[in-house]
Each structure stands twice: as C-alpha cells, then as structure tokens.
Structure 1
Amino acid sequence: MRRSLLASLAALLVTFAAQGRAHAIGVLLPTRPEIEPLAIRHHRVSISVRERIAETRVEQVFLNQSGETLEATYVFPLPPGATVSGFTMWVDGRPQRGELLESAQARAVYEQIVARMRDPGLVEQIGGNLFRARVFPIAPNSEQRIELRFTQTLEYHGGVVHYRYPLRTAGRAARTLEDLTITAEIVSRTPVRAVYSPTHALAIAREGDQRALASYEGHRVALDQDFDLYYAVADGDVGLSLLSHRAGGDDGYFLAMIAPRTALTEHELASKEVIFVFDTSGSMTGDKIARARAALDHMLARLGPNDRFQVVRFSTDVELLFDRGASMPATPANVASARRFASRFVAAGGTAIHGALDEALRTRAPTTATPRMIVFLTDGMPTVGETDPATIVREVTARTTATTGASTRLFVFGVGDDVNTTFLDALAVGSGGTSDYVRGEDGAELQQRLSTLYDRIAYPVLADLHLSLPGASAFDVYPRDLGHLYRGDQLLVVGRYRGEGAVQVVLEGRVGGATPLRLEFPVTMPSAETRNDFLPRVWATRKVATLLDEIRLNGERPELREEVVRLARQFGLVTPYTSYLVAEDVEIPRGIAPVPDARPLRPMDEPAPVSEAQADFERFADATAARAPQTTSSGGGGGGGGGAASMAPEGGRGESGRRLSARLRDLRGAEQAAALAAQDARFVLGRAFVRRDGMWVDSRYRAGRRELRMRWGSEGYFALLRARPELGPALALGDRVTIAIDAARVIVIDPSAPERISETDVSAFLE
C-alpha cells in the first residue's frame, strides 16, 4: 500500500512540476517522525528587484521546544527558475553546507514529507528543485538560525510584474511565534507606478519615479497564504495597468491600477479651494481645542500658492475668517490672518452644524473649475438651528451633487463618543468624501490623525476622475466615485466585464484643477484567464461593503439584504446577515458522518481581520438608519441618506460606531482578497467551499447528482489529480471535501469511502 502511495505521489509531482505550480516554504523537519516541524520564532524576507531580476534573502529562526537534542533536515522548495546564491547556517559554531536537489531527487524527498505529514495542503507545494541541508545537533530549547538567498527572473505581462513568495506552512510552523516581516525594494529604468499586494496590506513609499519600497510586518502571523506582489511600470504622466480574471463562460473581473508620476512641480499640482469648518462648542474644552488649532496650523502650512481657502468657526453662532461667500488666495498675509483667527478659538456654546455647513457651501472660488474640499471637524450632534440629521444630510448632499464644474467633497473628522457616525458618514459619502474618527481623550492623536488626513488630500494631481471601458461592457465598478488622485497615491478600481478582445480604457478628469484630461490605454479583455484568481473576492468584498453602507445610511430594503446574502454565500464572506448562517444552509452528501469538532489536517487559523469584522458587525442593526417611506427617498444609488427617517441610531455612537464606520470604509476600498473571508469558508476554483460537520462542501453542490467517493491518498485520489490537476486547490483543503465537477457529477473525498478506487474507475466517471 505504501509503495503504491509513493508511486502515485511521484506521478503527482511530475504533473505539478510540469505545470510550474511550485511553492516555496522553509521548514525544519526532525528526523524522528513523531516530532512535528520546528516552530518558527520569526520569518523575515528581504526582496530586491532590479529590472525584473529579484534577489530574495530569507532569514528564519526556528525553535526546538522538545527538550531533546534533535537532528533535522531543512528543506526549501525553490520557485521555478530560481538559483540559490547563498546559504548560511551555523551549528556548534561551525558553518554548514546545503545541497541543491534537481527535480527528480526533489520528488523523492517530497514523497517522504507528504506521506509523513499527511498534509493535503502539500499537493499545492510540489514541483521544481529543492534546497536541502542537514542540521545536527539542535540543542534542547534552543534557536536555530538559517539564512538563504536566491535569485529569479519575474513574470511580466501587460505592463505588470508579478513576484510570489509562498508562505503556506503546516504543523507548528503554521504561525510565527513572533514577527513576519517582508520588505521589497523595486528599482526600474521604466517608471514604477502602482504597487499592490492582494494578500498582505503593504506600506508603500516612493523615492522618485524609478524606486519604490513596500513593506509588511505582523506579529504571530498565520502562514496560511502566499505573499503576492504586483507592480506596474509605464512611461507618461499617468500609468494605468489592468489585471483580469475570467472563468470559462462567465463574465470577467478586472482590476485597474492607476498611479501618477511622483516627481511633480508645485504648478503641476491641481489648485484647490479648501474650507476649514471647526467646531468650538463647549465640549471641545481643554487639550482638544489646542490640538485642533495645531492641526489647523499644520494644514494652513500645506496650502499651495495657487490654492484658495476660508475658515469657518462654529458653536452656537457661526463666524467666518473672510467675507461671506468668499474664499481668498493662500498668500502669506492671508495665512497669517487665519492663524491669528484660530488663536482666538474658545470652547463654549452649542453646536450649529447646519449653519456652519451652509456657510461653507456658500463659499466659492471665482472659477467653478477649482475642486472644492470642506474639512469638517466636530465632536457632537446638531443642537442649534436645524437639528434633524436626515434633513441636514439631504440638503448638504443635494447642494454638493448639484454643483456645476468641479466637485465639492466633505472630509469629515469626528471627535469623541458623542458623534454619530451614521450621520457624519452620510455627509461624507453623499459628497464623495471620506470620514475618520478619534476618541478625543488623547489630544495628540486628534492632531496627528487630522494632520494625516489632510496630508493625504493636500496635493491632488488629477481631479474628478472617471473610468470607462468602451467595448468591454463593464459593470459593477467600485469605487463608484473615483474622486481625486493625489501625489504619491494610487487608485485601484475593480469591476466586471462582459465583452472581450482589444479595447481602450478611458480615464477622464481634470489636470491642474481646471484643464480637462482624457487618456486612453489599450488593453485586451480575455475570454478566459485563469491567473489573478483573487479578483472575484476583492470585487465581492467591495460590493458587499457598498451595499452594507447603503443599508446603514439609508435604511434596509429587501432587495439590498438579499443581494448581500447572495454574495456572502457565493464568495464565503462575513456579513451582519450571514456571519453565523453560511454553514447551516449548506447540504452535505448523504451517508457522511458529521464530525462537528473535526479540524483540518493542517491548521487553518481564522485570520485576525475576520474575527474583528465579526465583532464590528455585531451592532450593525443598531447603527442602521430607519427606512423612510418610499416617497421621501432620494433614489440615489449609493448616495448620502436622503431616504433615512432617522440618522441618530444609538449604534452609531461611541466606540462601536467608530469601529463599524472604519470597517466599512476600509472594506469599500478593500485590496486584499481575505479582508472579509468567513472563518469556515475558503474561496478556491472561483467559488466558496464551506466547512460543515467537518467537511469542506462546494457551494455549487446539490443533492441528487452522480457521485464518486474515494479516500484521501488512495490510488483513485491521485488518478483524479493527474486527470484534473486544476482541482488541486480544492483537494488541498483536507481529507473531507465535496467538489461539484459540473452540473451532473460530484467528487466526495471522505475517510469512510471505499478503500480501493482505481484509475479506471476515475476515468470512467470523468468521461
């Protein structure tokens, strides 16, 4: 039986090597089979890419927690085409050497690893060459440091370079005890534009147009997904590159990555009009008012020579720096006047939000082509003048969306526990702006966060952008309003398409604040594309977040709720409606014994963002505006609350309101495919697999179809993989999996299946 298993594994290795599906992890395997792979204290990866040639430096520190002296083997399967350029390891003060195993030898080693670890996930990690080193002795309760360097040429397609460092690891090594750190330096003669990872949230810094730095750091990180990095290179003032994914016969998905060049003069930046609206009501006493003044001073210092501005102070009354309805050039004299004006701010009185926003909206530059931004800070609800939040939202939204020429956008900043995030978010979303919140006890945090918000929007390069794909029949594009593109920033747009072939992506907007801009980028929309399979889930996450925001701000409607539930089930997402319900609605094949407490063979820990999202959604219903009668609905497709009968739900206040607002804001612009992934769901083969009673069940499974049952690791199992290698990601889920092959046939992997299913049986079933 063992010989048969190893023979099947060898055939499987050939299949995956031919497909170039190699994955690279570094594990330290004790020679004693009863001891699991050693735990990883930290895992640090440094990547240097120059003209598509990547050198990767890996530093891993393993921990022997056994209390015994161990002998172990370090194995690192290399990416396709990679060459080892350095290896460093010391044992008892002596440097150790490693050896490179060609694919034939590597397969034999991997046979032993797979058979020993009984890890279905390893079927995705097979192929290519293998680096191996013997490690002895490893003292009890000691560390073992290993450093490895390898080089490779990266894949390039359609102006986009792709780098992958696979991290998926099994056993004790499936989570770092301390940090996972990844840094990437990208240098290119052709300017580097967008830099993006669908798997890990990156911090990105740019040093001119030819160099970019990307970094990720996490503590006790689950090593359950590979690290993917994409970067675009392009000449011209603006770069636009497109990634696509399309399963046969379905509408496709696309991601447009847009980034301007970094080196811009002051005169190339868009001029803007900024109206600062500051709350000085009695609740802004103490450190808060001082920090607000300091933040305003910071923002005034970042006004450009072509900008205009106005300052509006409000409490019970409303006071303007300049004449009513006028903004003034940001000259040194006018900025100095603004600083003197702010120095007199005193916290006292009520909160005239409606009156303050009315004055801000009356203010207009001499030319309507100048983009207008209203930076609005408040720490309370309206108490003076018009106090109904729904009325204020309806009026402000109507006035910001009805303007001719350039847009008016509200950037809202809420302070403390008394603000209602449902109300303030509706103001921001209705104008195409953004919102952010702080608790308020820490004045330094208020100053820092407000300054950071303004720094991000201070230097618009392109204003009021619009993206279209004539001929591709694009639809469901997110974000719906692209807004402005700022210096040093990038814009990621996801959507779906029905057409195919050569088309033009058209990007329109305003440059320099006034001059119309139209750029065309030739792309090809494929009829089938298996790469970039993260795109469907990124798109679904953004759409669900947009729908949830519409429900929260405008009230629930049956069709919106039903669409959220449908998408959550299709893509395996956490939502307020489906977080605990997904598995209950999934059938499992008859005759399968439930195993409620069973865990996957390899740990699949719930990512931290998932549990956080679960908690943030708990008060979603409390934070949702009441649904107004249809006659009062604004009818907007994502707008700002014109249909809400009440914008003051209690769930919109306090820490829970701030967390929910931040969660939905982040998800509307989600970049990572796992941002909203449900704990007991995995998205593979373009669809969700839901874990119920210990079995991973294809969301497309329906009872009554023709079934073929087999055991993991059987002759039939590997015959299936040879015949249908594309099923590997689903089979890697575990030893209990149900897969819908098509509308008529189902494969069931289960320990209770017949022991002997032959290759002939599999071939006959698949014919």
Structure 2
Amino acid sequence: MAAEFSRCVEYGLGLSKRVFYGKESVPDPSAMTRSSESYLPEAPMVYAVVPDPSIVDNPDIPSYQPYVHGMCEPPALIPLHMHGIAMEIESYLDTAFVTVSGTWRVHCVAAGKRCDCRVAVPLGDKGSLLGVEAEITGRSYSTQLITAEDTTDKEKVAKDGYFLKRQIYTLKVPQVYGGSFLSFKIRWSQKLLYHAGQFSLSIPFSFPACVNPVAKKILKGEKILLNVNTGIDAEVLCQSTSHPLKEVRRQSGRLSFSYEAEVSSWSSAGFSFSYSVCSSDLFGGMLLQSPSLRDFDDREMFCFYLFPGNSQTRKVFKKEVIFIIDISGSMLGDPLENAKNALLASLSNLNRDDTFNIIAFNGEVHLFSSSMELATNEAMLKAKEWASTNLTANGGTNILLPLKQAMQLLAKTSDSIPFIFLITDGAVEDEREICTIMKGYLTSAGSVCPCISTFGIGLYCNHYFLQMLAQIGKGYYDAAYDADSIDYKMQRLFTSASSVILANITIDTLECLDSLELFPSHIPDLSSGSPLIISGRYEGSFPDSIKVRGTLADMSNFVIDLKVQRTKEFPLDQVLARRHIDMLTAHAWLLGSKELEEKVSKMSKQTGVPSEYTCMILVQSPQTDNGKRVPESITIQGVYSKFTQLNKTESNRQKVIVLGNLGVGFGNLKATVENKAPASEEVKPADPTELLFNAASNCCSQVLDRVCCMCFIRTCSHMNNQCAILLTQVCAALACFECINCCFELFAG
C-alpha cells in the first residue's frame, strides 16, 4: 500500500505541472522530482485526491489547457500548498503529546470543481493517533472513538482510514472545492527514547519543497512550543535540539522552549530534542493523583518511576543469554538477514564472563551448543559461522519447543541473571498454553528465574501474546513492522533488557494498599538502558516517602527512600493510558474475558487512546446557515445514533465517516501456516463502488480474453446492427450477473 501511495504522489506531482501560476510565479522544478522513497510523508501532509485529471488547474487563474482524456486509477495524489504550521509538544516522563495545527489550500483544483482530500500523519516511535479536527469552508469534522460492538455493520462500509505503514496513518475528508482553505489539528502521543542517561525525542517534521506556496509575497509562519515536565525535583539540562529553540521558562524539573519565525521555506528536517537530569546515581519518585469526575474508575492513581542515572560506575549483573530466533519460511530474505545481524551485534556486546546460546526454530529446534558457552572471541567466531550455515528460512513455526529447551539450559543458573530473547514473526495455536506453561516454570524456579523478553516482526504475529509472555517473564517487549527497522530495534531491546543493575525490586508500601491493580503485574529489574515505570490504581493511603529495596550486582542489598507527592499538573491518566490499555488487552486476550474487554473499551473512549475494542469515526459537526458551528455537545449515544443511520440516506453518509480500528490485531494463524512474509501495512479496504465497477469490467474482459483480438475486430467489422445489439445485451447481462454476485458477497459477509 505504501508503494501504491508513493506512485500516486509521483503521478500527482506530474499532474500538478499543469497548474499555471502566472508569469512571475514559477515553481521550483526540483520540488517536483524526488526519489521514490521520499514520496512517503515525513511530516503531517494533506493531498488532493484526483480521479479526473481534467479538474487540475489553478483556481485563481484558469490556464485553458487541452482537455485530458481518461481517469486516474488509482487516483493521483497532489500535495497541497501549506500556508501555516504550528507544533506544540508536552513531554511527561517517557511520553510526549504532539499537537500539529496547520492550514493548507487546494491550489491545484479548478474553481467550482471538487475533490476529496487525504491527510497523512506519520507518527513517532510507538505513536498513537489521539484525534483529528478539520475546519473547511462551511464544514467541520472531528474524530470520535466508539465501541467495536457499536459498529456491527462496519465491514459493509468502506473504511476511509488506514495505515500506509504501521507508523503512517491516513484518512480522507470528502468533497472540498478548489481554492478552499483547510485547517487541521492533529494530535498523537509517542515515546521518548532513553540512552546513556538522556531522554531523546524525535518527531516527523520534514516538509518537501512542493508544499511551499509559489507566490513569493506569501509569508510562511512556523511555530514550535515545547514543554518538558519530568516530575522530578532536580535540574534538567537541554543536551541537543534540531531547531533554534529559545528558553522561555526554567523551574525545578521543568523546561519550556519556543521557536517562531517567518520562513522562506518550511522545515526540511525532523524535530529532535534531548535532555538529561542532573544525577550521578539512581533517582526516582512516586506521583499520586485523584481520578477526574468523568473517570469510570474511582480508585486513586499512582506512578512509581526509578531512573538509572548517568553514572557509568554501577556494576552490571553477569548474565546467561539465550537467543530464540524464528527461521520459518516466512522469515526468508531481509527479515531473517536483519535479525541475524542484530543477534550477532548483540552477542559482540556481551562481557567475557557472560555465557550464551542460540536456538533456531521452525517446526523443529536447532541448537548452537548443547550447553551454555562463555562469550570468548573463539565462541563468537563459531557462533557467526553457525549462524551463516544454520539460520536459513524454511519450515513451519513451533514456539513452545525452543522455550522448553531454553528453560532446561538455564535451570542450573545460580550466580547470574538468565535471559531469554524470543524473536518471531508468526502466530501459533497454543499461545495461551505457552503462557500457562511458562508461568508454571517461573513459579517453580525459585529466586533465580529467567527474564523473558520478546520481539515481534510484522503484523502476522500476535503482539499481545508476546506482551503477555514478557509480562510473565518480567522482561521487555518491542516490535518492528518493517524489515529495515529490525536490526536497530532488536539491538535496542537487548540493551534495554540485559544491562541489569538492580534486581529483585520491592516497594514496601504496595503490600498495605487495598484493591491494588499493578501495571505490569510483576516488577521488572532496573536496567542501565531503560527507566523503570510502575503504575496502577489503589485504595488506601501512601506515606510521605516510600522505601524501595533491591539487590545490586555485587549481591549487596540496596535501599532508597523516595518522596511521594500529589500532582495536579501531571495528566497521569493520559500519560499511563497507552501502557494500561496494552497490558489490559494482553490479559483480556489470555483470559478471554469480556469484562476486561469492556474495561479497555471504556478506558479507550475516556482517554481518546485507540484500542483493539474501539473504532474511530470522523463526525461532521452541525453547521448554521452562515457556516459557523452550532455549539453542541456530541455524546457517544449521539454518535452511535448517527452511525446506525449511515446506510439509510446519503446525507447521513456525509456526516459520519468510518475510519476503522487502529489496533494491530491478535495475529494471523493462516498467514503463519502459509509462511507469508511479515506484513508491515494493512490491506487497503475496498470501496463497494469500485468493487462493482471492477466486477462488471472483469466479466467483459474475461469474455474478450478468450477471443483472438484480430479475429474479434474482423468479425465486428462485418457485423450488422441486430448482431451488435444482441452482443451488447449479452455483455450487459453478464455484467449484471457479476454485479449481483458481488453484492451478495458484500452484504452476505
């Protein structure tokens, strides 16, 4: 789908050369030529959807160009000129909330003509789309989340929102007149990365030259506002930034920056920012907050955080590491090669007193060694040779066998921390059984039990199974949805999970609380490569400070007193929503619990964070005669009432647009059995009108394909009127039969 999108943009840029801007305003030719990969958006963009090339023209200065025959299939996408952009970033702990507001103009469609406009939003690392608002002349739209049960007919409606890639979401706004201005406000959340004591944020904010308005007198205003709230009573230092930010405010644990300028061209580089907290040792705290009035859960909220600091003197636990890597047929090509490179790079980062092993699996198990091997240079060379010979893609997928083998190899661990890293791209039928068996192993293993971290590749594996397995094993989870990011993200996961500096962590106060709900349910170890964040709900009361205990790498006991503080300026429900929804969804999948599914659905609608059990729709707000919005609160019941009337009248179709589910799903067993290559993008939902057109044309083409072209032409040249009429009627009848069959498939499913 991403490749098709790029081709449509490339064709759209070619069509846009028809637009005449006047003798003094000539677009830069370099803005129209780009490499094929760069046609995917690297910042929020809006495109004119052009099925008919004849509508492409300057709405202000008609050029009277020759008529263009034919239609664009699929429709061309022309990037619209942008007339203003502002970005506001609110950063809390490891989560950032990004709001981008911009104005675009349909500069490439003739006055009086209309076209759909498609919005593309590239989300940052582990990003979640939270909402889109649109203002168009006489109309306004906003997104809403409703429960999946409320959309029982959604399969029969063409979805206008989907992922190009897992981190690029696109949706459509219907029928906008040429020359109109569109204002969009787009909000999403994403994660900050942590490395070497620094938090870093990277936001897609690179605009191509083709979105610069051609007229030289148009002033372009660019604005960025950044607020950092660490929740920590300590000095915060800015380490690097991509744009010339000006410091506006500095308080203990907080920073504010701004940037505003009139620019000749829009930002051509992504926005990046990094900061550190002044501390050479472990530091943290506990934040408390009462629920809001609209919260369906009346328990108090808490968030415990512990950061490793920027000291390099902390000793890391010795480790025993087993890599379990999927070599089924679906991993053929780049997925397996990139996973192999990441595995070998991670092995090279082991200390010489660490031990390791590699288990490759498909339908069978293939061991590098029958016992754990010291990470010597000789062993590394053997591992590299073994990987090049044995890590070849073929066969099916059996995850339980290698996990059992790994548990046996690590059964005698005593003076080190055992780690299991599972890498797979497939789903299996016995996933719940695997979770139960692993839980039994870890319960009976005593004080030293393996930490299980998981890594999913593509969309066909069950990411919630992998998350659940990581929760059970007190490990970490990550995923790569395209082959290019596998190497980097696998190494990042290994670094985050394996550099343990504090193990067996306990928080004394938690044992005294009532109705405690903990996320994750088991407290992981603290690694030098990742902060530890534990959150949840409770009833009861916290003291003014808490004691956190653990074990250091030299086997000495560690105790730290952390301050407890109540906060109103820290939106805990929003910051923790993505984490809680994902973990609860994993539990709901494991237990098959409808009650947990309903809880996730309520939490999703309350916080605006998409989930597997909610569906996003775009709602057109009511308007007065002069085009201004009527002040009206939209309830979920009202949205559902509009949705249920979606198929009754054309006017209602224009008021509610189905965007569909924004989740990753629960894996694809059929694709795994068939060894399909890992998918990184959704299958584009089909439009019923397009299906009918294709069905009719397909029937006629099948008839013609079975007839010799020259014979057919010669026969037609000698055909009288009656024969021509008869042949036309036969073709029309066949087309009708095909259309009826297509309708049956649409509405019967």
TM-score bracket relative to the smaller structure = 0.3 to 0.5
TM-score by length of 2: 0.47
User: Normalization by structure 1: what TM-score?
Assistant: 0.46
